[in-house]
Structure 1
Amino acid sequence: MSDPRGNLRYCFTPLVSCIVDTPEAAMMGCVRGLTSHVTMATYKNYGDAQRHESRTAAVTLSQLASIDCDPLLVEEYFTACALFRLSGVSHPYWRDWPFAEPSRFFTPEGLHHWHGEFWSHDVQWCIRGLGDAEIDFRFSIIPPITGLRRFPTGITTLKQVCGRTKRDVQRFLVVVIAGTMSPDVVIATRALMEFRYMSQAPSLTSASCDQIKAALQEFHHHKNAIIESGLRRGPTTSAILEHWRIPKLELLQSVAPSIEQVGSPLQWSADTTEHAHIEVVKDPASMTNNQNYSSQICRSLDRDEK
């Protein structure tokens, strides 16, 4: 392309951000499950209070190069990758992309990483601590506030909870549990809430990053109270868990470094693309006869464009 002076320049599009959820990021980062795609942490280190060394492109590519096995021998190659907890992908798409750095372009994604973690973990801790009936009652008696959603029947019976609903619940959760649960549990929950709210600011400074780090450290300082209270349980067996093997919890350690490298995480949210599911899938699907969805959805979209 030409620069302002008319000189031809050989340019490369920089890979600044890859906006994906955790499973897709792990797949593109060439790591297998229960392994961080941003740092060298594994599931055993997810609950650590400090950030582990970055998983750089050089590290991953050197590990792949050291595997002396033909990738076409799938089973043998996959077994050989286990030593480095790699997924078995031998040629990452970013391997020859100039300046592409996985530890940087896998930016924090608020919709899935923060709000998803909030609903899957924070809310569940509070429900177990108060009980379904009590937490629903407390949400139901919150006075109406203009501009804020009410939950007249509580939150435990909500179905298909979307990002908007998760944000609405976040506004009230700390107030709802205050005075009824262990002070350390309330502090830990509030610390994560502060972390999310501060990280979503459109403009952030070095002082903001320090506050974000401090909020996360405060959570780690008080988090053991959640396990001691028996609030951390398995999603299916309800067995008490005494570990912090939560991938999205480990990813919180990379938020402040990412802000310093590529700016506010708010610009890397998947809200826009996720909302497209409503416009191009759910709404057209509601006009079908519930048979052969794909063809009818495409026909509906074609008609809308004409």
Structure 2
Amino acid sequence: MSSRPPLDPRLTEQRNPATTDIDRLSALEIVRVINDEDHRIAPAVAGQLEQVARAVEMAEETFRAGGRLIYVGAGTSGRLGVLDASEMPPTYGTDPRMVQGIIAGGPRALTNAVEGAEDSREDGARAIDEMQVDANDFVFGIAASGTTPYVHGALTRAKQRGAKAGFLLCTHPQEWMLQVYDVVIAPLVGPEVVTGSTRMKAGTATKLVLNMISTGAMIRMGKVFGNLMVDLRATNQKLQDRSERILMETLDLDRHSAAALLDEAGGSVKTAMVMRWCRVNREKATEMLMRAGGRLGEILGGEERR
């Protein structure tokens, strides 16, 4: 390997010295090398936990103000943002508008490469205008390389419209980013196994961070009690079963009684728990939850958690 400086300063575009001969390895040797590199991901994310926590706080503030968390990205980064957003309604019973994802090139880019879509700052800005972003929103840009024009165009317009702006990248952030954006998260996972293939380590780090932001915010919003997702709604067989089991475990009910209580609560686990523990009807339970900001623990107080 040459000792000369890298041609591109971005970590995501540099060659990994541990994998320069990977094309000569056996299948087992290849996956061992990939696995060795993957061990670098969690420590890199751990080095950014204070910034991630700030993003969680900003997301919570956004939700309590009636705003939206909007992910913006291109390629793998955009797909991961859309994925995280799409998992919120079935997991936490949220309105689909609460967390949304924008990907350069539009919905078609989720399954097909839309060449050149990431290169337009104007298109990124236009997407923010079309979403009618305002001061209550939190727009979170994702770009492993740190340089995607579409993403920076979107964040610039979001700031112009008064929104908070966050940025996730997997290379060293430039000073101006730290000055302009409200939070910058930069897990430095190092060069990829295959040079520039940021769907690998950078993509995994991105998913870990997005999971933390959305999950942390949902916990803070009271959508988790203990470690149970109590704000889900029984909209299919799997969720019906999970909802009944949560009620069986927390309220010491048999399956039949849990199913009956869930039906009486309109399919809402959280409402059912308040109804049972506080001995109130569905309307009163709903009112109590609204007053408590959705936080079940504030209503139940010192009730035993099983």
TM-score by length of 1: 0.26
**Higher normalized contact order (CA 8 Å, seq sep 6+, divided by chain length):** 1
Structure with the higher fraction of residues in strand conformation: 2
Return the TM-score normalized by structure 2.
0.26
